Copies of this chain bind each other. A is one copy, B any other.
Amino acid sequence: MGFTDSARGSSTAGQTVAEVTEGAVLSRIFPRLPASDAALVGPGDDSAVMAAPDARFVVTTDMMVHGPDFRRAWSTPWHLGWKAAATNLSDVAAMGARPTGLVVALAVPDSTPVDELEEFADGLKAACEALAPGCGVVGGDLSVSGTFTIAVTAFGDLEGRAPVLRTGARTGDVVAVSGQLGRASHGLALLFSEGVDEAGVPDASRANSVREQHPDLVSAQLTPTPPIADGPRGARAGATAMMDISDGLALDASRMARASGVTLALESLLLGDDVDAALHGGEDHGLLACFPPGAELPGGFTRIGMVSEAGGADVTCDGAPVAARGWDPYTAWDGAAG
């Protein structure tokens, strides 16, 4: 683990990572990282030691790469720290677990100002404090790379409950979501259409104008606020299946349907004003869950349909098959410009 050095320099204002030692960088990042209530041994040794009170832990990992996953012209380091934490916390919550800790591996170009790494740490901290209080960063690694790359691994505590898998949806269950559908993809479309210069290259000042005009939509894309607490709430309320909606409701619902051997029958009237965006927009980071018939839906969950017997389609909307089309990270957003 690379977050293990002490300071070898102190005055690093305005410097890039190429100009200072790893130890000097870490001495500036460390104090800004959020602490974890579950850390028995925090950063600074070969490994961290985490409490796992019920003798299990959940773990997920996700990588964000400059180009396919974000543009530096649109996302500040603070935004990147927030989003890297938020998306991983959502995968923990989707098991019904309470997030307890993160480890963060970061690779940046050697021209990156150390100030930006501090802002990145601040974004991690703000997301943990806002979305999952008590969760913090317990370790990490820092590298140089031509491609700004963030890899976060997140842990959580099931608090004695069974994990809520994708396989448990049963005929007759209520299908519900927590979080807003289609907004993140709407924000991304705005950035692609109006946050670029004449040549189509992402542009920071134009992106700022877009953000001022459509703060909610752009925030949904750049700094999502997944309903983390609704993961454990859903589990306590008896959710039979649950998952993070990251690749679009239609694609993710089809995964749950196949895993459970059922059809998810959605109702367009329950999907908001823009049904196509709700079904096929990516990166919502809401929660899709099924609950037994008659269950009271907890927290921010609202009904969007019901589970029916497996038929020809994995997912239907008003009875018609819905294509499992959504966000494909391999084709949807490539190239590193901006």
Q: Report chain B residues within 8 Å CB of A105.
A: 61-63, 151, 153
**B61 touching A50 by the CB < 8 A rule?**
no
Q: Of the listed stretches A40-48, A296-304, A315-323, name the one at the interface; the rest are far from the partner chain.
A: A40-48
How many identical chains are in the complex? 2
**B67 touching A59 by the CB < 8 A rule?**
no
**A151 touching B48 by the CB < 8 A rule?**
no
A118 to chain B, nearest CB (A): 17
Q: Report chain B residues within 8 Å CB of A44.
A: 166, 259
Residue among B97, B103, B334 making CB contact with A153, cutoff 8 Å = B103
Indicate whether A189 reaches chain B with its CB closer than 8 angstroms.
no
| Residues of A in contact, count (CB < 8 Å) | 78
Q: Report chain B residues within 8 Å CB of A94.
A: 46-47
Q: CB-CB contacts of A121-135 with B at 8 A, as 1s and 0s?
A: 000000000000000
Indicate whether A200 reaches chain B with its CB closer than 8 angstroms.
no
**A92 touching B47 by the CB < 8 A rule?**
yes
A1-16 at interface with B (beta carbon < 8 Å):
1-2, 4-6
Q: CB-CB contacts of A303-338 with B at 8 A, as 1s and 0s?
A: 000000000000000000000000011100010100
Indicate whether A199 reaches chain B with its CB closer than 8 angstroms.
no
Residue among B95, B243, B255, B328 making CB contact with A21, cutoff 8 Å = B328
Instruction: Output the residue of A41, A49, A244, A255 with the most chain B CB within 10 A.
Output: A49
Indicate whether A141 reaches chain B with its CB closer than 8 angstroms.
yes
Instruction: Give the distance in Å from the alpha carbon of A4 to the alpha carbon of B95 in the complex.
Output: 14
Query: Known contacts A17-B330, A52-B57; can you find 13 more A-B pairs with CB under 8 A?
Result: A21-B330, A46-B60, A47-B154, A47-B163, A50-B58, A61-B140, A63-B143, A63-B149, A69-B143, A110-B334, A141-B151, A146-B147, A149-B149
A sample of 10 cross-chain residue pairs with beta-carbon separation below 8 angstroms, ordered by A number, consists of: A17-B330, A47-B163, A48-B59, A50-B56, A59-B138, A61-B104, A61-B139, A67-B144, A68-B145, A144-B330
Interface residues of A (CB under 8 A from B): 1-2, 4-6, 17-18, 21-22, 40-41, 44-63, 65-69, 90-92, 94-95, 97, 101, 103-107, 110, 138-141, 143-147, 149, 151, 153-156, 158, 163, 165-166, 243-244, 255, 258-259, 328-330, 334, 336
